[in-house]
Structure 1
Amino acid sequence: MKETELWNRLNRHLGDSYARVWAAEYNVAELDGRTVVQALAEGVPAKTIWRAVWAALELPARER
């Protein structure tokens, strides 16, 4: 997964405006307490980040 796809999915599930705020402020437990933005900056693969976001948001299995 590319970073653009990660942002597309975040926008689809959280809305264009809120996705960026959530990604910058919400500490995701499965990312060792980092935010999406921090994880991306530290080189965590977008696919790994999406799986953590998917779990945090309790999205349906089809969205994984």
Structure 2
Amino acid sequence: MRHREFWLLVEEVLGTGYGRVLAHDLSLTELGSRTAAQALDDGVEPRVVWHALCDAMDVPDERRWGHDHRRPAPPRRGSAAS
């Protein structure tokens, strides 16, 4: 996961304004009592930060990866019999 993907998920799963406030203000025990933003700045892997934030907010597993990740994959071109 890249930083960009982290922030997109923060906005999608937690809300545009609220998610950013949480990432900058909520101290997370799993991250050494740092906020998500501080942990990212300190070089912690975004995926680790994302899971810590989701754990703290009790985000269920099925919601953690946003809407696109729950949709079935589109059929591949050329895979249907002609």
- TM-score of the two chains, using structure 1 as the length reference: 0.87
Matched residue, 2:26: 26
Q: Which runs of 4+ in 1 moved over 3 A?
A: none
Higher helix share goes to which structure? 1
Matched residue, 2:35: 35
Matched residue, 2:2: 2
Q: Distance in 1 between matches of 2:38 and 2:9?
A: 18
C-alpha RMSD over aligned residues: 1.3
- TM-score of the two chains, using structure 2 as the length reference: 0.70
Q: Which runs of 5+ in 2 are unaligned?
A: 66-82
Q: Which runs of 5+ in 1 are unaligned?
A: none
Aligned residues: 64
Identity of aligned residues (%): 34
Q: Which of these two proteins has the greater Rg computed from alpha carbons?
A: 2
